[in-house]
Every structure is written in structure tokens, then in C-alpha cells.
Amino acid sequence: MKFAVISDVHSNLEALECTLSEIKKRGSDKIICLGDAVGYGANPSECLAIFRSSVDVVIMGNHDQAIFDIPFRDYFNPRARRALEWTAEVLSEQEKRQIKDFLPVTIDQTHQVTWAHSSIHEPLDYHYIFTQEDASPSLEILKTNFCFFGHTHFPSLFSAEENKSQYLPAGIYQLKKNSRCLINPGSVGQPRDKNPKLSFAFFDSESLKLEIVRLAYDNVKAADKIRKAGLPEYFAERLL
């Protein structure tokens, strides 16, 4: 099965449309979103409409949870919280229910894949995985060969067998049949690896080929929308 794996869209309509256009052009059996559909960006309603019509599986992210879990917003920095409160204000009750119905933060699937937003170790604590040390608790309890996760906005791979991590530039990678890996496809809506191009992945569960895709999109338009919405300038600058 060929999966298109996206994550951390964060209400960035321009990036999401560009991503789904590429997926449609190249084909996939299922589109999986690893969470954080909303937050930061200026088009939450439009993005949620696309998720309803075009994405097969959506995992709950921490920004998604904070839309309906108001006490949880206390864990966010002031700028992120401001964006969350703005998002919650502009969304309809039906759209908030859609977010509340997202799947749990971690789910096991067939094809030897686990889908998660962050660490599968204490998933509700939303641990960040940047280093091999960060990855170790999740690798120890991983029941499938591969786990795709988001949250860091950083395309990367963490291997149990080789006990090492690597940054994943755009390209094709051959995974090993009996390996155990954590894989981050990067962020569609807000990349944080000093490359403004959106990032997502294709994964073929039969050939075990992984491809990291980077695409330029109209990030200037997305940034201008953030400014016009009165959201923190920092989130606009981050896109550029």
C-alpha cells in the first residue's frame, strides 16, 4: 500500500493545497495526517473542509486538542496560545466537533506501521523527538516495524538497530524489512529546518521505499494572511 504521510499543516491553506495537488498527481492509496491540522495559520476552516473531503486518517495533535481542551492551552507559549484562541473563535461548533473526533494521538495499523503525533511513549505528554536519546523510550515499546510521527516539524529518522538518527533531505530512502524506525515526514504548514519548502512523505509498505518530498508553495501569501488576521508576526516570518 502506498501512503502519503502529511503532518503539522497548522491552518496553512496554500501549503495544504500544494501538497494534495502533488499527491493527486502522483497517486496514493491513503492519505494520513499525523496531527496539528490547525494553529498558527489563518485558514483553519478551509483546511478542515479539505480534511473532511480528502484525507483518510487524521491523528489528534496537541494544537488540535487545545481547541476544545481549554485548560490544556496553559501548556503553550503566549504566541501559540494567542493563535489557538483566535482559531477557536473563528471555528464553528461543527468544525470544533470535527477536531474532537480526530483519532487518538497514537494508533497501530496493519502494514507494520504505527501512526502518532509525537512520542508513543507517554503520548499525551507530547514529547519532542529530536535526538536518539529522545527516541529511545518510543523505540523500546514500538510494536510495529515503523512509526511515523510529527510534532517537531523536522524530517528525520531514528533507527533502533543502528542506534542513530539522521536528518532526511528530499529524496528516496530504502528501509530494511526487519528494522524498527521512527520517521518524521516534516511539516506541511510550518517547516522548521531552515528550508521554507513544505515537507511530506510517501511510504510504500510493500517495497519499503520512503520518499521525502519538498515543494515550494506561495508562502508569501500564507504569511500575508497571518498578518492580516492579526496573528503574531513571528508565525508569518517563520514561513519565509
Q: What pLDDT sits at residue 163? A: 86
Q: First-to-last CA distance in the chain?
A: 34
Residues in the chain: 240
Q: Where are the beta strands (DSSP E) in 88-208?
A: 106-109, 113-116, 146-148, 156-159, 164-167, 171-174, 181-184, 198-204
Residue at grid coordinates 494544537: 63
The ranges of the chain with pLDDT < 50 are none
Rounded CA Rg of the chain:
17
- Residue 109 has a pLDDT of 77
The 10 Å Cβ neighbour count of residue 179 is 14
Given the candidates 3.60.21.10, 3.90.550.10, 3.90.1170.50, 3.40.50.300, the CATH classification of the domain at 2-239 is 3.60.21.10
The 10s digit of each residue's pLDDT in 168-194 is 999 999 999 889 999 999 999 999 999
pLDDT at 173: 98
Q: pLDDT tens across 29-67, in order?
A: 999 999 999 999 999 999 999 999 999 999 999 999 999
